[in-house]
Amino acid sequence: MLKSKSTYKYLDFVKLSQLYNWSVQYLNDSKIRFTTKYPLVQIKEFLTRNKTAIEIQDDVYYKRATIKVRNGGIFLRDTVIGSKIGTKNQFVISKGQFLLSKIDARNGAFGVVPEELDGGIITGNFWTFDVDYSKVNPHYLALLTTTNEFIEFCEQASNGTTNRHYLQEPLFLDIKVPLPSLAEQNKLVEEYNAIIEEGNKIDIQIESIRQKIQSYLLNAIGIKDSNNLENNKTAECQYKYLKFTNLSDINRWDYWNQEQSITTLLHTTKYPIVTLGSYNLIHRKWVRDSNTFRYVEIGSVEPLRGIVNAEELSTDKAPSRATQIIKEGDLIIGTTRPYLKKFAIVPSEYDSCVCSSGFQVIAANKNYNLNFLYEYLHTYLAINQFEFYMTGALYPAITNKDLKKVLVPFPPLEIQNDIVQYIQVLKEKVQSLIQQASIAHTIAKKRFETQIF
């Protein structure tokens, strides 16, 4: 007579059909509660790795892709000439392929290559897969792989040091997922997109207000925004092969048209120009005097919402980049890929948290309004300066030394306060719209998940 499993209370049993690999942690922790109403099929049955290599040429322009986490989609990061690309051996992607980041898979960085990125390039940190369209709609797969449960699986199927967990390709391809008929997949995707479309309409309203905020700020300090640039182009058209720059605006002698245009435009403001280094840039060293701490990393900051979370960690497992303390009212500036606008004013709930060395901290001061500086840093005038000073290929960043060189218009404090007060009214409208868009996304996600879990 066979004994029941309860007799072996210290043993765990796994069916042979589910024995994807010999990792005990993976087998114990990676049980995704997929529905049984659809057949479960291994991902490798409909995805095939594509490694179309390309050697970057210095005189050719290339489209580079970026993947937003948690079903944020795949977008054009930039178009850049090959001489500016440090990693010369990369890979080509095509429209309709399935793409993921092996680093950020644990954060839901999956998606389908859009038409505008056909022929784009990626580094080895991304994986490209050809899709068997007779079996799967890649957009259905993108929705499935960005659910919380699948993201948790990717965390378990990844290894490496803190913030560098790499997804293991065999584990990813071996996982079984529910595969409805193509007609059912298409229906699920259409239902999801119908709700998301309402959210997208709200996003358009949000972007309109953000543009209004930028235009208002620039006009308030006496800069004519993009119209000024167009006027400059018209005035210079008779000298179409020449570019004129004031000697006082030259910071370096190599040609960088965009940077010089921005510098010239900044000097049209009716207020003094200062450098970011004139603010109170500080580094409050973190002393490890407790067992736990709350950590704000780069991923904890979102462009519109600021700091969204602080993970509580054991001090003995602190990341090497956990180095400094932040205080309520500080402005923190993400210096890695600053064009992502990882900037935030620290609210009271994150007072005395530890933050990454990837942030530059500016302390509050009675001589300036940090909210004014925060809003200015979101304008193209500041972002273009960040990009001018960035160095590095895989993780472009601006050094603290160069950050101090960024030019900032400096109105009197009472003018800064008035500008911030007006912008705050517009931002309250933005926050209300963000909540509406978030609700739409949550509804769409829950409806999809009820079908597959």
Q: What is the pLDDT of residues 39-75, one digit of tens each?
A: 999 999 999 999 999 999 999 999 999 998 877 889 9
290 and 175 in one domain? no
160 and 25 in one domain? yes
Q: Is the pLDDT of residue 315 over 80?
A: yes
Query: Residue 213 falls within a domain, yes or no?
Result: no
At 235 the pLDDT is 37
At 374 the pLDDT is 97
Query: Residue 280 falls within a domain, yes or no?
Result: yes
**Number of H-type helices and E-type strands within the chain:** 11, 25
162 and 32 in one domain? yes
282 and 150 in one domain? no
Query: Residue 322 falls within a domain, yes or no?
Result: yes
169 and 285 in one domain? no
Q: Is the pLDDT of residue 82 over 70?
A: yes
At 440 the pLDDT is 86
Which of 410, 426, 447 terminates a domain? The answer is 410
289 and 173 in one domain? no
170 and 39 in one domain? yes
CB 374 within 8 A of CB 343: yes
- Helix H, strand E, coil C: the string for 254-300 is CCCHHHHHHHHHHCCCCCCEEEHHHCCEECCECCCCCCEEEEECHHH
Query: Residue 237 falls within a domain, yes or no?
Result: no
Query: Residue 3 falls within a domain, yes or no?
Result: no
What is the per-residue pLDDT across 272-305, written as a single tens digit (0 to 9) for each?
999 999 999 999 999 998 999 999 999 899 887 8
Query: Residue 313 falls within a domain, yes or no?
Result: yes
Q: Is the pLDDT of residue 435 over 60?
A: yes
At 232 the pLDDT is 41
At 420 the pLDDT is 97
- Tell me whether strands 354-356 and 292-296 are parallel, antiparallel or unpaired: parallel
At 255 the pLDDT is 41
Q: Is the pLDDT of residue 90 over 60?
A: yes
Nearest-angstrom CA–CA distance, 94 and 111: 12
Domain that holds residue 82: 21-179
At 146 the pLDDT is 85
Number of folded domains that form the chain: 2
50 and 154 in one domain? yes
Specify whether the backbone of 71 is left (phi greater than 0), alpha (psi in -120 to 50) or beta.
left
Query: Residue 256 falls within a domain, yes or no?
Result: no
Q: Is the pLDDT of residue 7 over 70?
A: no
Which of 155, 179, 203 terminates a domain? The answer is 179
Q: If you average pLDDT over residues 245-261, what whole number do you get? A: 52
At 291 the pLDDT is 95
174 and 35 in one domain? yes
Q: Is the pLDDT of residue 200 over 90?
A: no
Q: What is the mean pLDDT of the chain?
A: 85
175 and 29 in one domain? yes
Query: Residue 209 falls within a domain, yes or no?
Result: no
Which of the four pLDDT bands, split at 50, 70 and 90, describes residue 203? confident
CB 352 within 8 A of CB 326: yes
pTM above 0.85, yes or no: no
- Sheet arrangement for strand 47-50: 47-50, 126-131, 98-101, 110-112
Which of the four pLDDT bands, split at 50, 70 and 90, describes residue 152? confident
Q: Give the 3-state secondary structure of residue 133.
A: coil
Stronger pLDDT, 30 or 197, i.e. the higher one: 197
Which of 179, 198, 224 terminates a domain? The answer is 179
Q: Is the pLDDT of residue 227 over 70?
A: no
At 13 the pLDDT is 61
At 208 the pLDDT is 92
Q: Is the pLDDT of residue 251 over 80?
A: no
At 198 the pLDDT is 85
Nearest-angstrom CA–CA distance, 306 and 332: 10
C-alpha distances (whole Å) from 229 to each of 204, 209, 225, 324, 337 are: 25, 22, 7, 40, 25
Q: Is the pLDDT of residue 394 over 80?
A: no
Stronger pLDDT, 301 or 203, i.e. the higher one: 301
Q: Is the pLDDT of residue 254 over 70?
A: no
288 and 405 in one domain? yes
CATH number at residue 281: 3.90.220.20
Which of 165, 186, 166, 185 is closest to 177 using CA atoms? 185
Nearest-angstrom CA–CA distance, 144 and 445: 10
Q: Is the pLDDT of residue 2 over 60?
A: no
